[in-house]
Structure 1
Amino acid sequence: MKIRLLHECDAEVYRVIRLEALKNHPEAFSSSYEQEHVRPIEQFRERFRNEGAYTFGAFDHEALVGIVTLVRESHDKLRHRANIVGMYVKSEKRGQGIGKLLVNTALHRARQIEGLEQVYLSVISSNVSAKKLYLTCGFQVFGTEKNALKLGENNYFDEDHMVIFL
């Protein structure tokens, strides 16, 4: 398994796994498949040009099997913070430690960023395996947002907000 920073040349394979994540687990992301599948590939390339954002990919041989993004806050008063977003590992590759490698890689990068003090993430409260992963990596739950995401007419999901202090 190889974990590396993704670049513009990875936009097409990133788009495929990102859309898979949104389609298979709509409750886990604030973006939707319907929103992102119509976006041109150039918008996916642009994500890798964003200063302060680092997207890492897990490769099993040449296949991209997992992704995670670390995004530093841009406002002056929030520059001591970053967020982990877009975490996803293909279902057939789960349980092999790939998620932990991705999160730890993002945290390693966070610790190298001058002035960065804490990293946040949000996870659907019912996603026990993801919460367990984040707790193992050192995150702590500091709050729960009721009905944070809404799918359809009456399908709500609570989110646990987590933080790790570097």
Structure 2
Amino acid sequence: MAVYSLPKTFAPAEKLDPIIERYKAFRLLSLKQSPESFSSSYEREIAFPDETWIKRVCGPLSTNIIAVSGNPTGSEGNKEQERDLLLKEEWLASLTLSGPFDKEAAVAMFKNNMWIESPSIIMGDEIEFYFGLYAMYVAPNARGAGLGVSLVEYAKEKALEIVGGKKTRLVLVVDFDNIGARRTYEKGQFVLNHDYWFDDTRCGRAQRTQSAVMRVDIGGPDSLRKNTTP
């Protein structure tokens, strides 16, 4: 198993098209197989124009993380080999890292994309950047192997890489009764920040659902000292 973030650019540009199509197919499959796990739906996203899928993969504030069935080959960071593996091997799991956002942009993101009415509850005085985690999905045939934890750890490392190791908070929203998902995030050091109720329109769900807002803080000088202490 290998974990990669999808490339946002490639030369020539046409080489990115099959990656975008593969992402689209996997996302639609996840919505079909586990509709209760997402706030969106297959019917909504199958109607998206190509521009929407391109933006999801190539947008500056969106990093899509994918676990594939094959093993890494060659040197780390070889984009051609990573692309070949992403196209050749079976996709097993996915997670989207959204950001980075400064405090002002994070408030808008929490309200508009995570439906959190009181973002001040999540904000931290020493936090320089914020990211959101979305759309965790593990294919049925790959569950129970720890892929969710691998995706979360990769997302944390990627976030620190993007912001140069500065103090950062990752935030996610998960159904309170989704014990399996919450345990996965807890293994990645996420803690419950607060919970709230919302009107749930998803198929098979009750009219009102309780959501858990979870967060983890990473990076900053304290983290650097821990990593360099003998």
TM-score by length of 1: 0.89
* Segment of structure 1 superposing worse, 155-164 or 133-142: 155-164
Match of 1:43 in 2: 52
Query: Is structure 2 residue 54 aligned with structure 1 residue 54?
Result: no
Deviating 4+ runs (over 4 angstroms) = 73-76
Structure of greater Rg: 2
* Segment of structure 1 superposing worse, 137-146 or 72-81: 72-81
The structure whose residues are more often helix, as a share, is 2
The one-letter code matched in structure 2 to 1:124 is: D
Query: Is structure 2 residue 149 aligned with structure 1 residue 100?
Result: yes
The whole-number CA distance in structure 2 between the counterparts of 1:49 and 1:19 is 18
Secondary structure of residue in 2 paired with 1:113: helix
The whole-number CA distance in structure 2 between the counterparts of 1:116 and 1:134 is 19
Match of 2:197 in 1: 146
Shift of 1:74: 4.2
The structure whose residues are more often strand, as a share, is 1
- Identity over aligned residues, as a percent? 26
Match of 1:18 in 2: 27
User: Unmatched 5+ residue regions in structure 2?
Assistant: 8-15, 71-88, 107-127, 219-230
The whole-number CA distance in structure 2 between the counterparts of 1:73 and 1:28 is 24
The whole-number CA distance in structure 1 between the counterparts of 2:173 and 2:199 is 10
Query: Is structure 2 residue 178 aligned with structure 1 residue 127?
Result: yes
1:137–1:146 CA distance, 2 compared to 1 (3 A): same
Corresponding pairs, count? 166
Q: Aligned Cα RMSD in Å?
A: 2.0
1:80–1:148 CA distance, 2 compared to 1 (3 A): farther
Q: Residue 17 of structure 1 contacts residue 65 of structure 1 at CA under 8 Å; is this kept in 2?
A: no
User: Unmatched 5+ residue regions in structure 1?
Assistant: none
TM-score by length of 2: 0.66
Q: Deviations over 1:104-126 (max 9, x none)?
A: 10111112232451000011111
